[in-house]
Amino acid sequence: MTDSVAYYLEDQEYHGKSERTREAYERVLRRFEGFLDDEGCGPSGQSLTPEEAGRRECMAWVHSIRGQHAPSTVASYASYVHRFYAYMTQVGEFDSNPMALVVEEMDESIDKDPTRREIAVPEMRTFVGSISHPLERALVLTLLKTGVRVGELCNLDLRDLALSDPELAGEFDLGGRLQLDGRPESLYVAAEPARGHSYNGEERTASNKRKRATVIPVDDELASVLKSWLAIRPDARSPAEPLFLSTRGDWGSRLSTQAVRNVVERHAREHGWYQQGGGAAENVTPHYFRHFFTTHLRDRTGDRGIVKYLRGDVASDIIDTYTHNWGGQVRDVYESNVYRLL
């Protein structure tokens, strides 16, 4: 096999792994491959391929990255290589998995609940205030005010947003969802969109991960920022009429999750909140905004049930309770406690 890494990545695409996940795998696996080539790990100093590498070469690679990354990151990178070998062995392309014992004996472990950077509301308000582009400000504020995942953000269509502003009524077909009837100033986040499947007339490139669909209130700050974005929103290429569209090279196309991550990373880096190679404890990413939303709203409301409902994380019986009492309890609690960022 001339390129075992490419073989593995192609199979992961067939298995439905996201582009972001495949890029992370490729970055680590190519780095491991480069180590085997540059270090001359063979018995006579020759380079090795991943298939030819043994336990000692895998141990040496792990040792080489220990001084460059946090222990949790080292564990994550080692797990990527371990999964690569495990898969290639299982499909019969490799004879063994030399990373199995290395991972088992490592002191490092993956931190599944990292302690994240603590950012106070006034600091976040300053951050939002530094973003002037209407689209970029709308993306960031929607993530911060609703706690949606980046894929859920990109899957939003005009029909998922209900705004009662008369200036918008004649320009956009907003709030076309039956679920938004009688619920003005709100956002509907569906559970169904899935990567590679057609939804509302368009094949989606990201999946929503909600257990159930959720209706999230839109406060006056978010409504104002979304209105400013809609004022310059280009015509959509898709009949699905995505809410967020590219204003760059792929003008009018649905905004991709990578484009959103790039926007957040750029602004976070300018603000000193992002370092290359940093982990979840240091870097502000779109997912950090979900963490910010959860932490601050839960602390302000003291109501874990409503926060779980808004995040789309609760079981059917609980989510139905909040859905039926949306106007009375959910909206009142949300509007009384959501933080001000403008």
Write down the mean pLDDT value for the chain. Answer: 88
Q: Please state, in angstroms and rounded to a whole number, the distance separating the CA atoms of residues 61 and 33.
A: 10
pLDDT at 151 over 70: yes
What pLDDT is attached to residue 43?
Answer: 64
- What mean pLDDT do residues 156-160 have? 97
Q: How far is CA 139 from CA 48, 186, 220, 263, in A?
A: 45, 16, 16, 9
What pLDDT is attached to residue 325?
Answer: 56
What pLDDT is attached to residue 276?
Answer: 77
- How do residues 220-279 score in pLDDT, each as one tens digit? 999 999 999 999 999 999 999 999 999 988 999 999 999 999 999 999 999 999 987 677
- How do residues 105-134 score in pLDDT, each as one tens digit? 888 777 666 667 889 999 999 999 999 999
Q: What's the half-sphere exposure (Cβ side, CA atoms, 13 Å) at 329? A: 14
Place of tokens 């300018």: 270
Contact 185, 335 (CB under 8 A): no
What pLDDT is attached to residue 20?
Answer: 77
- What mean pLDDT do residues 46-50 have? 86
What pLDDT is attached to residue 117?
Answer: 81
Q: Is 233 exposed, middle or buried (0-12, 13-18, 19+ CB in 10 A)?
A: buried
pLDDT band for position 44 (cuts 50, 70, 90): low
H or E, element range at 86: helix 71-90
Rg (CA), the chain: 23
Q: Is 17 exposed, middle or buried (0-12, 13-18, 19+ CB in 10 A)?
A: middle
What pLDDT is attached to residue 332?
Answer: 86
Angle, helices 286-301 vs 257-270, to 10°: value is 80
What pLDDT is attached to residue 37?
Answer: 87
pLDDT band for position 171 (cuts 50, 70, 90): confident
Please state, for a pLDDT cut of 70, what percent of the chain lies above it. 90
What pLDDT is attached to residue 339?
Answer: 95
Angle, helices 134-146 vs 286-301, to 10°: value is 40
Q: Please state, in angstroms and rounded to a whole number, the distance separating the CA atoms of residues 227 and 284.
A: 26
What pLDDT is attached to residue 327?
Answer: 54
Mean pLDDT: which of 218-222, 282-286, 317-321 is highest?
Answer: 218-222
User: What letter represents residue 89's amino acid?
Assistant: T
What pLDDT is attached to residue 14?
Answer: 86
What pLDDT is attached to residue 234?
Answer: 95
Q: How far is CA 209 from CA 17, 195, 313, in A?
A: 14, 11, 9
Q: Please state, in angstroms and rounded to a whole number, the distance separating the CA atoms of residues 62 and 66.
A: 6
Query: Which of 5-9, 24-28, 82-86, 320-324 is predicted with the least confidence, judged by mean pLDDT?
Result: 320-324
Claim: this prediction has a pTM higher than 0.85: no
